[in-house]
C-alpha cells in the first residue's frame, strides 16, 4: 500500500486507454526531436578522434582533418541510403523490421540485439558526456560524477514513466539553441582566426608520441569518430510520427539532419585543429575550444549548459527507442511478454525500467567515464546500418518497384560502406571493450530464440485444437487444521458451503494436543468429521502428502483434492513475520502436485 | 527442490521425535563442555589489560599484576555466588529464568536482551580471537582474516544444524589439552625464569606513554580484563545436563572451573609481566609468550593450534546457549514463535541461523578485529550476573529456605560487586563501543514487549471463548478468464464441480478479443455463463473488485465470493519469469478483501 502511494507520487495517476493519442510532428519540431541524439555526438566524436591521434604525438593531431572529412562523407552516404528506406517503409522501418521483412528472423534478431545494446549505451554515453560537460565547467563536481550520472538516468526514467506528453515542445528550444550556439562558435572561431582577432594561443611545443602514425592507428582514429553517426537511424523508425505526407516530410528532415550534422562535426573538428587543441585531462575538447574562444565567461557557460542539455535529451530518445523495439520483440515473442504491455500511464513501463537499470549498471561499472564507454558504442548501430541497408538491397531486387535499379545502388553502397566500417570498428576497438558487445550479441540472440521456443511449447501445450472436451471432475474437500480458533471455524464453514462431504485433517505431533482438540471438536467442529494423521518426524507436510496420494489412488485421475487452509491475516504486514509460514510452505509444496488445489481461507485480524 | 537437496547435503536427513534423548554428562566431561567458553578468554583477557596500560607507557604494564589479582578475586566471588544459584535451581537457572522468577518480567527481559547480545558477541569475539591465534603463527593469512572468520562461523553453524550428537566427546580432548598446555607453559616460564634457563629477552627500553596512569586508565584496564569472566554462568544454565545428583555435581564442576580459570589467567598475566611482553602489532600476547619460551617450534605451534581450537569450541557453546534462551523467550511470547520450533534434526534451527547471521555481520562490520569487538563484550554478561544475583537475594529473603541467612550474603556480595563492575564497564568502555550495547538493550526490550502485546491481541481475536457458533456461509464461485486454453477449461470444470451455479468473469480491454472469446465460448465454456466487465484503464483488478463489491452488497455478510484463477505452471522455475504475474497480483490485492477467497487451479506444463 505504501509502495503504491510512492509510485503514484512519482509516476502520477493512471490514464484511460481512450487518452492514447498520436502527436503528429511538423518538420521543424520533428528535426528537433530526432536530431538531439545524432547532433549531440558532436560533443564527443571529435575528441575521440584526437585522443587516438595524440598517441602518435601532438603533431599527428592534424590527421583529424582527413578523418573528419571521411566521416562526413560516411554520414552523407548513410543519410542518402536511409532516405530510400523511409520511402519504402512509411509505417516505420527500424533495422529489426527491415531485416525481418527482407533477410529473415536470424539477421533481424542480430540487428535487434545490437540495437538494444546500443540504446543502453546511448543512455550511458550521453549522460556521462553531459556530466563531463558540467564537470569541465565546474571541476569541483568531478568527485560526484557517478552520482550525477545516476541522478540524470533516474530523472529521465521517471519523466518517461509519467509519459512525456508534450515531448516535441521540450525538444525544440534546446536543440535549436544548441545548433545555433555551436555553429556560431564555429563561425566566430573560423572568422576570428582568419582576421587574427583571437587571443594568442599559449605556446605548446609538439609533444612526441608513443607510437608512429600507422594504418592501424589511423583506422582506430576513424573508428573512434564513427560515434558521430549514432542516432541518424532514428528518423526512419519514427516516420509515422510525422505530419502527412509522412514519408515525404521525413525525407526532408533526414536531409536537413545530414547537412546540420556534417556542418557541426566538421566545424568542431576544424576548430580543434585550427586552435591546436590537445585532448585529455578532465576537460572536454568542446569546453577547451569554447574557453579559448570566449574565455571563462557567459558565452562559455552557455555552450556548456546547452551541450549538457542536448546530451540529456539524447539519452531521453533511447527511452522511446528501447521500449519500442522491446515491444516489437515481445510481440514476436522473443523477449518476455511483459515488455508488450502498457503501464497505467500508457507507456511501456517495463522497457523504461530495464533500460534505466542497465544504463545505471554501465555507469557504475565504467565509473561514468565517457572515454571508457565509447569503445563499446557504435558497433551496435553499424550492425543495424549494415543489416538494414542489405535488407533494402534484397527488397529492391525482390519487388522491383519503380526506380528500383538506381535506388538499389544507393542501398548497396550504404550496405558495403557501413559493412566495411563495421569490420574496421570491431577490429580496431576489439581489445578496448568492443569484445563485450561482440560476445553479448550472440548470447542475446540465443536468449531470444530460447524464449521464443518456450512460448511456442507453452502455446502448443495449452492449445484446444484437436482436443476433445475432457470428462467432468469430481473432488474431495479437506480442511487442514492445527488448532481450533475463529479462523479455523470459518474455514470449516467455508468447506461445508462447498461440499457437505468435506472433512478435516489434523497432523498429530503430540498425542496430548490431539486429545484436547478432539474434546473441543464436538462443539466447534461444525459437524465436519476429523481425521487424525500421525507424524513421527514432526513434519506436517509428509503425512498430509501420503494421505492425499492414497486418496488419489483410490479415486482415479478425474478426482481433485482441495486443501482448505485456515489462515489469519494480521492487521499490519510486519506482524506476519511473527507467525509460522506453514501455509506458505504447504502451498509451495502442493503447487507441483497433480490434481491438488490449495485454497486459503483468510480470517482478518483487526489489530 | 534443488534447495531442498542442498539442505539435506549439509544438514542431513530428518530425525524422528522418538530419537530425542538427553545426554547426561559426567563431571569430567561436563567440565570440558562448560569450561571452553570461560577458559578460552585467557587467550585475550590479559592482552586487553596490557593494551590499555601501554597507553601510559610500557613501564605501566606492571600494573597488570594488581589488576589480574583483582579480576581473579572477582571470578571467585561470582563462582561462589553461582554455586548458590545452582542449589536453588537444579532444573537450570539462567539469568532470564532467575530474574523472571524473583524480580519480574521487566528485569528478566533486560537480562535476556543482554544475554542474547552477549551470545552473539561470544561467537564473533571467539572466532576473531581464534583466527588471530592462527594469523599470529602464520602472518601470511592476515589478509584473509574476515574470510576465515566467516568460514568458521558457517562451519560451526552447519555442525549445529546437523545436531551435535556426541558433543561431550568433541569437547573433552581439546579442553584438557588446552588446560595442560597453558599450565605447562606457565610452569615452564615461571620455573625457567626462576632458574635462569630462558633465552635472554631482546633489549627493549621502556617506551614513554601517551597519558599518565590515572584512576580512569586503571579502571579501564580492569574493565578490559573483565572479559575473563564471560561464560562462567554457563554451568548454572545447564544443570539438567549433569548426571544425578545434578546440582551436587554441577557445584563441584563450578568450583573446579573457578580454580582452573584463576590459575590460568593469573599464570598468563604473570608470565606476560615477567617476560616483559609488550602488546600490539598483529601478534597476540599468548603467541608472543609462547614464541619467547619455546621459539617458533613444535611446542609453539601446539599452543597456537589448541588455542584456536578452544576458541572455536567457545563460539560453539553460544550455539547451544542462544537457541536455548530464544526458546524460553519464544515460549513466553517475547520473540517470534518460530524460535520455539525444533527443526527436522531436533535442533532449534532458527536460533542457530539467526545467531550465525548476526555474528557474521559483526565480524564483517568490525573486520574480524578482536580488539574492536571486545569493548562491546562483557557488558551483557555483567548485566546478567547482577540481575541473577539480585534475584537470588530476593529469593532467599522471600522463601527463607534452610541456611538462607548466610547464603543470602554470598548472593548479595555477588550482586553488589558485579553491579559495581557493570557500572565501571559501562562508564569506561562507553565511548569505545559499549554505547551500542547500552542503546540496543532497551530497544530489544521494547521489541520484546511489542511482540508480546501482538501475540496477546491475536489470541484474544481468535479465541472461541464466549463466542456463539456463527451462522452457516453461502457463496458464489467466479472463474476469472483472460483467454480460453486447456488451463482455463480445467478451471471451469473445477468450478462446476464445486457449484452448478459457478460463473465466468472476463475483463474487457479490447472489444475485438471479447468477440473472439464469445465465439469460442459455446464449445469450450463448459456451459458456464460468461460475464464481461468493461475496463477503461486496462486494469483487470479494478472492474473485478467493483463487481465483487456489488455482489457482496446484494448478498450480505455471510456470502463468500470465491475467485477461481486458472494458472499454468511452467515446467522450470525460470520460465515463470516469462509470464505475466497477474495471478500473483490479484491474489495479493484480494487477500485483504473481506469475504473473498482466491483459489488457484494449477495446470502443469510438461516442458
* Alpha carbon A112 to its chain's center: 12
| Residue of A41, A113, A95, A78 lying closest to A438 (CA atoms) | A113
Q: Which of A457, A473, A524 sits opposite B497 (nearest CB)?
A: A473
The C-alpha cell that represents B464 in the structure block: 472461541
Contacts of B454 in chain A (CB under 8 A): 570, 575, 578
- Half-sphere CA count of A66, side-chain side, radius 13 A: 8
CB spacing of B470 vs A485 below 8 angstroms: no
* Alpha carbon B195 to its chain's center: 49
Chain A residues 489-518 with CB within 8 Å of chain B: 489-490, 493-494, 496-499, 509
pLDDT value of residue A135 = 92
CB spacing of B536 vs A18 below 8 angstroms: yes
CA distance A66 to A72: 10
Residue of B nearest to A338 (CA): B580
The C-alpha of A376 sits at a distance from chain B's nearest C-alpha, in angstroms, of 29
B604 to chain A, any CB pair closer than 8 A? The answer is: yes
A460 to chain B, any CB pair closer than 8 A? The answer is: no
| Residue of A185, A135, A365, A377 lying closest to A290 (CA atoms) | A185
* pLDDT band at residue B443 under the 50/70/90 scheme: very high
- pLDDT at residue B205 greater than cutoff 90: no
Give the list of residues 6+ apart from residue A423 with CB closer than 8 angstroms, or none. none
Chain B residues 426-455 with CB within 8 Å of chain A: 451, 454-455
Longest Cα–Cα distance in chain B: 108
Q: Which residues pair with B393 in a beta bridge?
A: none
Interface test with A, best of B329, B471, B485, B556 (most A CBs within 10 A): B485
CB spacing of A499 vs B496 below 8 angstroms: no
Q: Which of A493, A575, A605 sits opposite B473 (nearest CB)?
A: A493
Contacts of A575 in chain B (CB under 8 A): 454, 458
pTM of this structure = 0.73
The C-alpha of B494 sits at a distance from chain A's nearest C-alpha, in angstroms, of 6
Sheet holding B530-534, edge to edge: A530-534, A503-508, A474-481, A559-569, A596-604, B596-604, B559-569, B474-481, B503-508, B530-534
Chain B residues 334-363 with CB within 8 Å of chain A: 336-338, 341-342, 344
Q: Which of A461, A578, A598 sits opposite B454 (nearest CB)?
A: A578
Contacts of A486 in chain B (CB under 8 A): 461-464, 467
The C-alpha of A452 sits at a distance from chain B's nearest C-alpha, in angstroms, of 10
CB spacing of B570 vs A458 below 8 angstroms: yes
CB spacing of B538 vs A344 below 8 angstroms: yes
Residue A579 is classified by DSSP as S
Give the least confident one: A261-275, A588-602, B10-24, B396-410: B10-24
A556 to chain B, any CB pair closer than 8 A? The answer is: no
What own/partner pairs with CB < 8 Å and gap ≥ 24 does A336-340 have? A336/A451, A336/B577, A336/B578, A336/B579, A337/A455, A337/B578, A337/B579, A337/B580, A338/B580
The C-alpha cell that represents B151 in the structure block: 568460514
CB spacing of A462 vs B486 below 8 angstroms: yes
Q: Which of B538, B602, B605 sits opposite A342 (nearest CB)?
A: B538
**DSSP letters for B174-191:** HHHHHHHHHHHHHHHHHH
For CA atoms A550, A553, A557, A559, the dihedral sign is negative
- Which residues of chain A register pLDDT less than 70? 1-23, 163-168, 199-212, 343-347
Mean pLDDT of chain B: 86
The C-alpha of B489 sits at a distance from chain A's nearest C-alpha, in angstroms, of 8
CB A133 within 8 A of CB A304: yes
A424 to chain B, any CB pair closer than 8 A? The answer is: no
- pLDDT at residue B2 greater than cutoff 60: no
Contacts of A538 in chain B (CB under 8 A): 17, 342, 344
Residue B25 is classified by DSSP as B
pLDDT value of residue B476 = 92
- pLDDT at residue B58 greater than cutoff 60: yes
pLDDT value of residue A1 = 47
CB spacing of B486 vs A591 below 8 angstroms: no
CA distance B249 to B257: 12
For CA atoms B534, B539, B540, B546, the dihedral sign is negative
pLDDT value of residue A167 = 58
pLDDT value of residue A125 = 93
Residue of B nearest to A510 (CA): B17
Contacts of B463 in chain A (CB under 8 A): 485-486
CB spacing of B484 vs A499 below 8 angstroms: no
B18 to chain A, any CB pair closer than 8 A? The answer is: yes
* Helix, strand, coil share (%) of chain B residues, nearest 5: 70, 5, 25
ipTM of the assembly? Answer: 0.75
CB spacing of B475 vs A487 below 8 angstroms: no
Give the least confident one: A549-563, B165-179, B269-283, B517-531: B165-179
B281 to chain A, any CB pair closer than 8 A? The answer is: no
* pLDDT band at residue B108 under the 50/70/90 scheme: very high
CA distance B517 to B514: 5
pLDDT value of residue B259 = 93
Contacts of B575 in chain A (CB under 8 A): 454, 458
CA distance B447 to B427: 25
Mean pLDDT of chain A: 86
CB spacing of B455 vs A487 below 8 angstroms: no
B553 to chain A, any CB pair closer than 8 A? The answer is: no
Question: For the residues B188-210, what does the mean pLDDT come to?
Answer: 71
DSSP H helices, A145-214, are 145-162, 167-194
CB spacing of B493 vs A474 below 8 angstroms: no
Amino acid at each position: 500500500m505504501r509502495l503504491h502511494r510512492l509510485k503514484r507520487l512519482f509516476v502520477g495517476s493512471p490514464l484511460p486507454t481512450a487518452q492514447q493519442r498520436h502527436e503528429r510532428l511538423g518538420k521543424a519540431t520533428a528535426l528537433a526531436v530526432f536530431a538531439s541524439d545524432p547532433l549531440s555526438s558532436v560533443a564527443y566524436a571529435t575528441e575521440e578522434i584526437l585522443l587516438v591521434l595524440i598517441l602518435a604525438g601532438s603533431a599527428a593531431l592534424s590527421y583529424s582533418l582527413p578523418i573528419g572529412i571521411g566521416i562526413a562523407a560516411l554520414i552523407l552516404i548513410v543519410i542518402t541510403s536511409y532516405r530510400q528506406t523511409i520511402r519504402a517503409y512509411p509505417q516505420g522501418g527500424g533495422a529489426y523490421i527491415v531485416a525481418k521483412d527482407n533477410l529473415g528472423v536470424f539477421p533481424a534478431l542480430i540487428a535487434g540485439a545490437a540495437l538494444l545494446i546500443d540504446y543502453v549505451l546511448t543512455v550511458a554515453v550521453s549522460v556521462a558526456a553531459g556530466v563531463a560537460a558540467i564537470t569541465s565547467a565546474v571541476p569541483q563536481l568531478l568527485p560526484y560524477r557517478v552520482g550525477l550520472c545516476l541522478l540524470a538516468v533516474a530523472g529521465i526514467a521517471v519523466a518517461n514513466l509519467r509519459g512525456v506528453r508534450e515531448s516535441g515542445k521540450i525538444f525544440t528550444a534546446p536543440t535549436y539553441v544548441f545548433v545555433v550556439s555551436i555553429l556560431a562558435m564555429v563561425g566566430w572561431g573560423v572568422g576570428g582566426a582568419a582576421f587574427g582577432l583571437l587571443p594568442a594561443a599559449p605556446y605548446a611545443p609538439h609533444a612526441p608520441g608513443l607510437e608512429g602514425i600507422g594504418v592501424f592507428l589511423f583506422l582506430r582514429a576513424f573508428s573512434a569518430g564513427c560515434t558521430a553517426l549514432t542516432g541518424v537511424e532514428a528518423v526512419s523508425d519514427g516516420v509515422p510520427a510525422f505530419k502527412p505526407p509522412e514519408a515525404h516530410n521525413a525525407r526532408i528532415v533526414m536531409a536537413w539532419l545530414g547537412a546540420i550534422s556534417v556542418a557541426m562535426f566538421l566545424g568542431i573538428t576544424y576548430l580543434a585543429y585550427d586552435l591546436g587543441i590537445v585532448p585529455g585531462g578532465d576537460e572536454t575538447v568542446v569546453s577547451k575550444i569554447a574557453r579559448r574562444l570566449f574565455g571563462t565567461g557567459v558565452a562559455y557557460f552557455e555552450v556548456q549548459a546547452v551541450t549538457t542539455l542536448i546530451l540529456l535529451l539524447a539519452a531521453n530518445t533511447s527511452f522511446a527507442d528501447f521500449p519500442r523495439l522491446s515491444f516489437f520483440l515481445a510481440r514476436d515473442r522473443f523477449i518476455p511478454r511483459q515488455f508488450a504491455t502498457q503501464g497505467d500511464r500508457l507507456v511501456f513501463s517495463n522497457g523504461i525500467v530495464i533500460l534505466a537499470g542497465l544504463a545505471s549498471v554501465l555507469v557504475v561499472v565504467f565509473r561514468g567515464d565517457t572515454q571508457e564507454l565509447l569503445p563499446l558504442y557504435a558497433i551496435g548501430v553499424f550492425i543495424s546500418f549494415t543489416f538494414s541497408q542489405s535488407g533494402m538491397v534484397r527488397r529492391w531486387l525482390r519487388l522491383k518497384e519503380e526506380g528500383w535499379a538506381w535506388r538499389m545502388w544507393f542501398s548497396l553502397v550504404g550496405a558495403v560502406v557501413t559493412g566495411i566500417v563495421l569490420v574496421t570498428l570491431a577490429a580496431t576497438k576489439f581489445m578496448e571493450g568492443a569484445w563485450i558487445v561482440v560476445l553479448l550479441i550472440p548470447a542475446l540472440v540465443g536468449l531470444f530464440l530460447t524464449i521464443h521456443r518456450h512460448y511456442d511449447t507453452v502455446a502448443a501445450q495449452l492449445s484446444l485444437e484437436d482436443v476433445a472436451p475432457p470428462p467432468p471432475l469430481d473432488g474431495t474437500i479437506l480442511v487442514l487444521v492445527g488448532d481450533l480458533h475463529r479462523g479455523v471455524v470459518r474455514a470449516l464453514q467455508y468447506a461445508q458451503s462447498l461440499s457437505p462431504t468435506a472433512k478435516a485433517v489434523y497432523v498429530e505431533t503430540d498425542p496430548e494436543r490431539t486429545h484436547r482438540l478432539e474434546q473441543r471438536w464436538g462443539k466447534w467442529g461444525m459437524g465436519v468429521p476429523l481425521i487424525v494423521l500421525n507424524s513421527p518426524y514432526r513434519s506436517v507436510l509428509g503425512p498430509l502428502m501420503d494421505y492425499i496420494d492414497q486418496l488419489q489412488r483410490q479415486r482415479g485421475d478425474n478426482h481433485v483434492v482441495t486443501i482448505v487452509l485456515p489462515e489469519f491475516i494480521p492487521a499490519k504486514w510486519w506482524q506476519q513475520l511473527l507467525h509460522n509460514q506453514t501455509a506458505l510452505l504447504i502451498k509451495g509444496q502442493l503447487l507441483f502436485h497433480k490434481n491438488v488445489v490449495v485454497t486459503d481461507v483468510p480470517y482478518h485480524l483487526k489489530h
